[in-house]
Amino acid sequence: MGALVLGQFLLTACGGGGSSSDGSPPVSEPSTSTGRFIDSPVANIGYRTESIPDGVTNANGQFKYLEGETVTFFIGDLEFPPAPATEKVTPLDLAGSTDTSDPTVINIIRLLQSLDDDGITSTGITINQLAKDNATPVDFFISESEFQNLMAVKVLVENSGSPTTSLISTSEALEHFEGILVGEGVEFVANLGINGIWVNENTDNELLAFVFFRDGTYVHLEVDEELPLDEQPETSGMEWGTYSLDPETRALTVDIDFDRNLDTGLTSSVNGGLDIFARVSGDQLTFEIDENGNSSIDDGESTVFSRSASETMDELVGIWKVANVADFNDTLALIFFADGTYVHMEIDEQAPFDEQPETSGMEWGTYSVSPGSDAITFTGLFDNNGDTGPVNGVGSPSTISASISDTSIVFNPNSEEPTTFLKDPATQPRALAFTESELQNLTWYAALQEPEDCGPDWLVEETSFDGTSYTLDLCGTGTDIETGSYEVLSSGVIFWPGFGEYIARKSFDSDRQAFYACSADTELAALECPASEQFLNFLNKSDAEAYVAEQNANPELTVSWEAELTAYSQGDLFETESATMQCDSGGGPTVGEVGTETQTWSRDGTEVTVTSDASEPGSFWLLDFTQSTLTVGKTYQETEADPTGEPGDIFENVFDISESYTWDSEQGAFIGELAETITLSWSIDGSESVCEYTYSVVATPQGTEAETSAFLGL
């Protein structure tokens, strides 16, 4: 690799002068490592290690440490539990746990996120000086309810300089934290939520299901019209209301706003004042109802529901809610089940009314979509909402024109205005699960680059399943065939005992008729692997071959790279009688400065070689390309030893650089950020002077749309 010079913005020179009094060479010292504290990067929080008594994390949440040290983070007089200093430190490490539902973990993340100085944790967490001034010691190793009632916590959050003046909710904190952990590739035990579709197929009901929406509403659906009947008397229909779930006790509290199935569902329990608990474990939801009021759950007082999952790549399966419900009803939704049935639910009981007369309730039936068709055919099996919904009564099919994507359905009924439904994300992840029935007769074609096993080029690797065993064409040669048994786990992950390998489906690419998957040596790692480790599996061999041909073509893109300095801090000045040392000793740049350069990005699979017209001839650097997110970027480190050449003077420059640019189709450019930290070390007394730069970057392709599409692999 040539000398690394990242254009005019990177590897900025740092300065110093003089030499040691005796002219002796620098003494070798232990190598300093850089770690990150993340629940989003936590900036401006104090830390101490055995070698650094009083440090502060930078804008990227970075801190310095020596191998084998312990790090303790603190805000004023408030100390967090210590943890081993490593490349990544999270609240899981501080709590000594891998479970995000651990009360200590929850206490830490609720506090950190509540203290963010702008209240937008997705862009990072920054601790304000006011928080440091008002912080006092607290105990994190107590229950969530005890922690949130501590006066020290209340005073700190109210006076932290953050727009958030009370602790954020547990569910909000967990949703953010688990998303960060997945993106960082950190293994953890997820605190699985109740959102989604839950069905019970172990009764004589034709339909028995609960749906818990992300907006805090729920619906109970029950149809029992045909012999043998489950219970008598029992009224088919739906109930709808709001819910809350206590994260500690798992107590489920509901308020019923609409009920047309009388005492089925949760109605009788609510009216009787009974305690209801809802516990999620993997793909099972267990309702526990203390029916005899003895403050314990006895035999016969629990009912198990299973999470509804797609058995195919059918993008319809899941919850769809009308886009602008306020213009229509109290609630209006379609639920497509994996077994080919649907429920239409509509409630319009509060003024202003959508239409009058209109009957609130549900209809249940079957649905089908003909291949290549832009229409859905509905056939009603049960209907108690009159002429609302896709069908009017039982038995007669109704076909409605519709434009379907993986995130929206636009219905275009004759002589009526189009209606748009959006997919509720609560059901999207579970539709990714593999099922036994899907693998009865499935073949996929993986587009891979495996240089260690198969050579440098991209290739197509075919895998087929017959219900009991798989056949794998290793390296796509047709000569090295692997066969063996497989198992579909309850999580929807495929396990290959012969390889000791787990395969999880991560997302769909409907345009390509393909899906992204990930393989790993543990079930958890497969479920939570980052986008950079995922690969495409096509359902059509010719599509896979065309994609591989594009990857092997080494597409090249010329971009106009424009960077605006959005944040900067100059390094500290250190002086002795005979020498000085400071990063950016001659004065640094000014926030708001904008500079441009022309870069050439040459992609070989997932590796991008970058050259710049602002760099020395022959120099280049390497970035990674993640096709699933259309992102170019990398975090890396470069070291320049003894830059002054003077014995006893500055003995090392360390450049920590993070680049990440994601394609934005609307702007027609890669949008992102470049962050650089330069650490200048002084051999005289071990001092460090640190400069930090953050740039907002727009990289605009200068070629044709076809060249851009080829580079992106579209």
d(CA 61, CA 184) in angstroms, rounded, equals: 14
- Lowest mean pLDDT of 8-12, 48-52, 489-493, 634-638, name the range: 8-12
pLDDT at 710: 78
Residue 136 identity (one-letter amino acid): T
Please report which confidence band the pLDDT of residue 281 belongs to, taking 50, 70 and 90 as the band edges: low
Has residue 19 got a pLDDT over 80? Answer: no
pLDDT digits (tens, 9 = 90+) for 604-623: 878 889 998 888 887 888 89
Averaging pLDDT over each range in 9-18, 448-457, 577-586, 658-667, which range is the top one?
A: 658-667
d(CA 658, CA 660) in angstroms, rounded, equals: 7
d(CA 342, CA 369) in angstroms, rounded, equals: 12
pLDDT at 179: 76
Has residue 126 got a pLDDT over 90? Answer: yes
Which tokens go with 16? 């110093």
Has residue 91 got a pLDDT over 90? Answer: yes
pLDDT at 64: 94
Residue 171: CA count within 13 A, CB half-sphere:
12
Please provide the DSSP assignment of 102-154 as one string: -HHHHHHHHHHHHTBTTS-GGG-EEB-HHHHHH------SS-HHHHHT-HHHH
d(CA 285, CA 552) in angstroms, rounded, equals: 47
Q: Mean per-residue pLDDT for 387-399?
A: 81
pLDDT at 387: 74
Question: Pick from 372, 421, 369: which is nearest to 397 by CA?
Answer: 369
Query: 128 CB contacts (<8 Å, ≥6 apart)?
Result: 44, 115, 117, 160, 161, 162
Specify the length of the chain in residues. Answer: 714
Please provide the DSSP assignment of 553-603 as one string: T--EEEEEEEEEEEEEEPPPEEE-SSEEEETTTT----TT-EEEEEEEEEE
Enter the DSSP assignment of 439: G
Q: Mean per-residue pLDDT for 143-148?
A: 80
Tell which wins on pLDDT, 95 or 329: 95
Segments of 268-317 assigned E as strands: 276-281, 284-289, 302-307
Residue 555 identity (one-letter amino acid): P
Tell me if 349 sits within 8 A of 463, measured CB to CB: no
Has residue 233 got a pLDDT over 70? Answer: no
Residue 617 identity (one-letter amino acid): P
Average pLDDT, the chain: 80
Query: 339 CB contacts (<8 Å, ≥6 apart)?
Result: none
Q: What's the chain's Rg over C-alpha atoms?
A: 30
* Look-up of token digits 């504290």: 37
Cα–chain-centroid distance for residue 401?
34
First to last CA, the chain: 29
If DSSP codes are grouped into helix, strand and coil, which group holds residue 156? Answer: helix
Tell which wins on pLDDT, 345 or 388: 345
Tell me if 483 sits within 8 A of 499, measured CB to CB: no
Please report which confidence band the pLDDT of residue 516 belongs to, taking 50, 70 and 90 as the band edges: confident
Would you report the helix, strand and coil content of the chain in percent, each value rounded to 5? 15, 40, 45
* Look-up of token digits 């043998």: 228
If DSSP codes are grouped into helix, strand and coil, which group holds residue 643? Answer: coil
pLDDT at 355: 57
pLDDT digits (tens, 9 = 90+) for 427-456: 444 346 677 767 777 889 998 877 677 877
Question: Pick from 321, 359, 325, 84: which is nearest to 195 by CA?
Answer: 321
pLDDT at 311: 36
Which tokens go with 590? 């000014």
Which tokens go with 539? 């359902």
Question: Pick from 279, 217, 270, 283: which is nearest to 248 by CA?
Answer: 279
Please report which confidence band the pLDDT of residue 230 belongs to, taking 50, 70 and 90 as the band edges: low
The phi and psi torsions of 267 (rounded to 5 degrees) equal -60, -50
Enter the DSSP assignment of 708: H
Q: Mean per-residue pLDDT for 168-176?
A: 80
Q: Cβ-count burial of 22 within 10 angstroms (0-12 exposed, 13-18 middle, 19+ buried)? A: exposed
Has residue 28 got a pLDDT over 60? Answer: no
The phi and psi torsions of 62 (rounded to 5 degrees) equal -85, 150
Q: Mean per-residue pLDDT for 227-243?
A: 75
Tell me if 711 sits within 8 A of 557, measured CB to CB: yes
d(CA 323, CA 568) in angstroms, rounded, equals: 43
Enter the DSSP assignment of 430: G
Q: Where are the alpha helices (DSSP H) in 367-495?
A: 451-454
- How are beta strands 375-383 and 252-259 bridged, if at all? unpaired
Has residue 563 got a pLDDT over 90? Answer: yes
Task: Please name every residue paired with 526 in a beta bridge, in sequence order, or none if there are none.
Answer: none
Tell me if 212 sits within 8 A of 218, measured CB to CB: yes
Q: Cβ-count burial of 118 within 10 angstroms (0-12 exposed, 13-18 middle, 19+ buried)? A: middle
Tell which wins on pLDDT, 406 or 38: 38
Question: Pick from 21, 14, 152, 131: which is nearest to 75 by CA?
Answer: 131
d(CA 306, CA 649) in angstroms, rounded, equals: 67
Q: Mean per-residue pLDDT for 568-597?
A: 83
pLDDT digits (tens, 9 = 90+) for 147-169: 888 899 999 999 999 999 889 88
Task: Tell me how crowded residue 257 is: count the other CB atoms within 10 A of its CB.
Answer: 15
d(CA 587, CA 593) in angstroms, rounded, equals: 14
CA separation (Å) from 705 to 352, 553, 663, 665, 668?
48, 17, 13, 11, 9
Q: Dmax over Cα atoms in the chain, in whole Å?
A: 100
Has residue 75 got a pLDDT over 90? Answer: yes
pLDDT at 605: 76
Q: Mean per-residue pLDDT for 665-684?
A: 86
Averaging pLDDT over each range in 76-85, 177-186, 353-362, which range is the top one?
A: 76-85
pTM of structure: 0.41
The phi and psi torsions of 548 (rounded to 5 degrees) equal -65, -40
Has residue 328 got a pLDDT over 60? Answer: no
* Look-up of token digits 């526990």: 288
pLDDT at 39: 93
Q: Mean per-residue pLDDT for 674-701?
A: 87
Task: Please name every residue paired with 663 in a beta bridge, in sequence order, or none if there are none.
Answer: 670
pLDDT at 698: 94
Portion of the chain with pLDDT greater than 90, in percent = 23
Question: Pick from 124, 123, 144, 134: which is nearest to 165 by CA?
Answer: 134
Cis ω on the peptide bond leading into residue 352 (within 30° of 0)? yes
Which tokens go with 667? 């702007």
d(CA 78, CA 38) in angstroms, rounded, equals: 18
Please provide the DSSP assignment of 507-550 as one string: EEEGGGTEEEEEEESSHHHHHT--GGG-EEEESSHHHHHHHHHH
Residue 298 identity (one-letter amino acid): D
Which tokens go with 394? 């039982």
Has residue 628 got a pLDDT over 80? Answer: no
d(CA 595, CA 597) in angstroms, rounded, equals: 7
Please report which confidence band the pLDDT of residue 1 belongs to, taking 50, 70 and 90 as the band edges: very low
pLDDT at 432: 65
- Lowest mean pLDDT of 25-29, 242-246, 502-506, 533-537, name the range: 25-29
Has residue 12 got a pLDDT over 50? Answer: no
Quick one: angle between helices 151-158 and 103-114, nearest 10?
Answer: 30
